[in-house]
């Protein structure tokens, strides 16, 4: 018998999961379960949607109504679900490749609409599932299967991108800072409107190996030693912040939520 939380929230018959030893997707999935319980969500009113990737496989283990969609399209499916049944708590669980490469357009428009969806990004700076190709969040200069001489693209800062596009709650946590991750995810779930939590994650098998980051313990220690809370980061220069992970909540605002506004349109058109 596993721990009670795991028994309640996961499909234990599918465990142990397929993720590599030390992959942070496992501890992040546990943290999300804890956040869901802390936020008091009811199973019958909650649906979890993912795309494709190692991260997106989480939905196969979560004991909720879940939907494993196509690569990059989790938010498109989630938008449809939320519009059809606005009373549901809709959580999207996705990877950096899924949400910011192929799914980047869905991301900015979900932000712009401020639709009531919680989007948790398991951001390991790489395409893990397909063998370590660089993603839009692979830092410039880093290595990947498809960047054997170093990545010349600039990397996206997902919370900053989401905030600029109109998301009303954006935050970053780390796999190392798992207690904070639980608290921030709970707030994101409770938030009315579109919320994005970027979880700085570790993929030891590809990102770690390609960039000689050492074992999983070293990768987590690196996160611990290089995280800067947003308040402290405000007082630091661009140079000082080079290579650091800025953590915390970047914005938490109120703005009309999309399905509420849509409901008003239905009323105005005489549909209710």
Partner 1 sequence: MKKLVTDTSWCKGCGICAAFCPREVLKIIEDKVFVEKEENCIRCGQCELRCPDYAIWLEEDKNE
Task: Kindly list the residues in this chain that would bind ligand TPP in the complex (CB under 6 A).
Answer: 52-55, 71, 95-98, 122, 124, 126-130, 135, 203
Contact call for residues 122 and 28 (beta carbons, < 8 A): yes
Of the two residues 22 and 116, which places its CB atom closer to Mg ion in the complex?
Answer: 22
Residue 209 C-beta: closest distance to partner 1, Å: 14
Q: Which does 119 bind (CB under 5 to 8 A by kind): Mg ion, ligand TPP, partner 1, none?
A: none
CA atoms of 171 and 181, how far apart (whole Å):
10
Residue 24 C-beta: closest distance to Mg ion, Å: 11
CA atoms of 81 and 46, how far apart (whole Å):
11
Residue 173 C-beta: closest distance to Mg ion, Å: 16
CA atoms of 128 and 174, how far apart (whole Å):
18
Q: Coil, strand or helix: which one is 257? A: coil
Position among 9, 19, 46, 180 found at the interface with ligand SF4 (CB under 6 A)? 19
CA distances from 7 to 43, 46, 61, 63, 88 (A): 14, 17, 11, 9, 23
CA atoms of 149 and 141, how far apart (whole Å):
8
Binding range to ligand SF4, per CB under 6 A, among 84-92, 109-117, 159-167, 197-205 = 197-205
Q: Which long-range contacts (CB under 8 A, 24 or more apart) does 188-192 make?
A: 188/35, 188/118, 188/120, 189/35, 189/36, 189/39, 189/41, 189/89, 189/91, 189/118, 190/39, 191/118, 191/252, 192/116, 192/254, 192/257
Q: Which does 69 bind (CB under 5 to 8 A by kind): partner 1, ligand TPP, Mg ion, none?
A: none
**Chain positions contacting Mg ion, by CB under 5 A:** 95-97, 124
Of the two residues 88 and 175, which places its CB atom closer to ligand TPP in the complex?
Answer: 175
Q: Does 113 bind ligand SF4 (CB under 6 A)?
A: no
**Chain positions contacting partner 1, by CB under 8 A:** 2-4, 6, 10, 15-17, 19-27, 30-31, 178-179, 215-217, 220-221
Report the residue count for the chain: 272
Residue 192 C-beta: closest distance to ligand SF4, Å: 32
Position among 69, 100, 123, 124 found at the interface with ligand SF4 (CB under 6 A)? 124
Per CB under 6 A, which of residues 202..231 are in contact with ligand SF4? Answer: 203-206
Q: Count of CB atoms within 10 A of residue 79's CB?
A: 22
CB-based burial of residue 233 (10 Å sphere; 0-12 exposed, 13-18 middle, 19+ buried)? Answer: middle
Residue 205 C-beta: closest distance to partner 1, Å: 12
Per CB under 6 A, which of residues 128..157 are in contact with ligand SF4? Answer: 128-129
What is the contact surface with ligand SF4 in residues (CB under 6 A)?
Answer: 19-20, 23, 25, 54, 124, 128-129, 203-206
């Amino acid at each position: 018998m596993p721990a009670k939380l795991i028994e309640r929230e996961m499909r234990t018959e599918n465990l142990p999961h397929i993720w590599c030893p030390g992959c942070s997707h496992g501890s992040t999935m546990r943290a999300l379960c804890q956040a869901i319980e802390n936020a008091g969500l009811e199973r019958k009113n909650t649906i979890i949607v993912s795309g494709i990737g190692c991260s997106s496989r989480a939905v196969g283990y979560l004991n909720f109504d879940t939907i494993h969609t196509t690569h990059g399209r989790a938010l498109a499916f989630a938008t449809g679900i939320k519009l059809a049944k606005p009373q549901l708590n809709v959580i999207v669980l996705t990877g950096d490749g899924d949400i910011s490469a192929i799914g980047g357009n869905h991301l900015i428009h979900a932000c712009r609409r401020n639709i009531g969806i919680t989007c948790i990004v398991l951001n390991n700076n790489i395409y893990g599932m397909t063998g370590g190709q660089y993603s839009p969040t692979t830092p410039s200069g880093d290595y990947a299967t498809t960047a054997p001489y170093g990545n010349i693209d600039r990397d996206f800062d997902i919370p900053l991108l989401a905030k600029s596009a109109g998301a009303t709650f954006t935050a970053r946590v780390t796999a190392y800072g798992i207690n904070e991750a639980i608290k921030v995810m709970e707030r994101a779930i409770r938030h009315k409107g579109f919320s994005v939590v970027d979880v700085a994650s570790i993929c030891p098998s590809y990102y770690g190996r390609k960039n000689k980051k050492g074992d999983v313990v070293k990768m987590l220690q690196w996160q611990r030693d290089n995280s800067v809370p947003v308040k402290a980061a405000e007082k630091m220069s661009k140079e000082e912040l080079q290579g650091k992970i800025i953590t915390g909540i970047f914005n938490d605002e109120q703005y009309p939520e999309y399905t509420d506004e849509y409901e008003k349109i239905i009323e105005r058109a005489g549909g209710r």
